[in-house]
Structure 1
Amino acid sequence: MRARSVAVVGAAAVTVLAGLTAPAQAAENYGQYSRFAERSAGQHWADGQAAGQWTWKPLSSTTSEISWGDPKSWPPDYAEKFVRSGDWLMLDGWRDNGTYYTVRVTKEQIGDGKCGNLQTFATSGRQHYVKWSIPPQGYCLKAWGTITEQSSGKVVDFGHTQIWSPPAPCSNGYLGGQTCIKQWESWWDNNGSPGEPITRRLERDQYLARGKGMAFKIHQYFPKEWKSEARSYWNW
């Protein structure tokens, strides 16, 4: 018994030492799922036809813009600009209608995957859109701030709540055997009613597939229920 106990303890010690000396496995990051740093693209389909298309266009090693639009009238005027800063991907704003719209926050909070235990962590600057390193647990982000139309100075108030879920198996009607992260989001603003309270404009889930990209699945709940699924991805 004693000899067996010593052998077991010795094996355990070797295992512990191996664990201490082995390199830690690097966490996955948002870039692996979004393909933020690549000239990547994809189409998502609904009702048997292409419902939308997206492309990432890297502008530098830390900055990229994503366009969303109708593949029948490509390229669109619309593109969102994201900047990587430390372990965050920040939303700077978007271009559309021949001008640029700057997004700046007045308050941001972070909490657990059910939007509990919220703590304020920013009161100015770009919006913290998503963590770059993907944590093992889900987390919630809440942002309030303003959108400024650069051509006119017009200001719109907004609120944006997101819940990011960790990697999990996923599939859609066209592509199976994938791994996805999920974004649930609810967007509120007072566009068209300056000075009035913000109201809900959009609520949806979006799944991003590792090595594929955006819009693997979209399930919109508001303003009307709608679903689409990615059918093709490519580099351009």
Structure 2
Amino acid sequence: MAGKIPDLIVTERTGTGKGAARQARRDGMVPGVAYGGSADPLPINIPFNVLIKYLRAGGFLSTLFNLKVEGHDDVRVICRDIQRDVVKDLPIHVDFLRLHRDSRIDLAIHVEFINEEECVGLAKGGVLTVVRPEVELNVLAGDIPDHITVDLAGLDVGDTITISSIELPEGVTPTITDRDFVIANVQAPTVATAEDEAADAEAAESAEGEAAEGEEAATEEGAEE
């Protein structure tokens, strides 16, 4: 399950509108807003370097933060939108949703694969094809899993891992409930496929050679007559 919730220390933005947002960016900040819950929306400024660090670490949209703003009670938030500059692709505005511990939200959770060395299919030269490296799940805000685990032990070539075959943490459910969707599968060895293609090519060349010899022989017979 998720570890300690990281603090996100920001400042309250005194001004609103485009002018205040531009000034924040000139000051090395990224403007944003925290909304939801019983409180009014709170305009905030996030240090650009801090935001970039979190973005580069990955999983920002599925990370629960403890938002700390001077003069306000700490509150748990999760990012709901990041607006980026269309040219530089840098963040220019961030929206955060306030959450309670018992709030339920839909998040993309990372899939982790274990026991590859005990996978029969991989030992035979098979290939693990990951269809969904992340799965959207409905989780409690106060208990967000870092990942879900797929155990590859004993799986053979041709075996398929679906969401129903994974033991999800307590209180976690898939957002897709109308079908048993595929997470990954163990496919046939690619080496065998390459060998088959080489054999087919060799057979085709041999057939072409025999056909050419037959045409040559027929031509010589016609010349003799």
Higher strand share: 1
Normalised to the residue count of structure 1, the TM-score between the two structures is: 0.25
Normalised to the residue count of structure 2, the TM-score between the two structures is: 0.26
Higher helix share: 2
Which of these two proteins has the greater Rg computed from alpha carbons?
A: 2
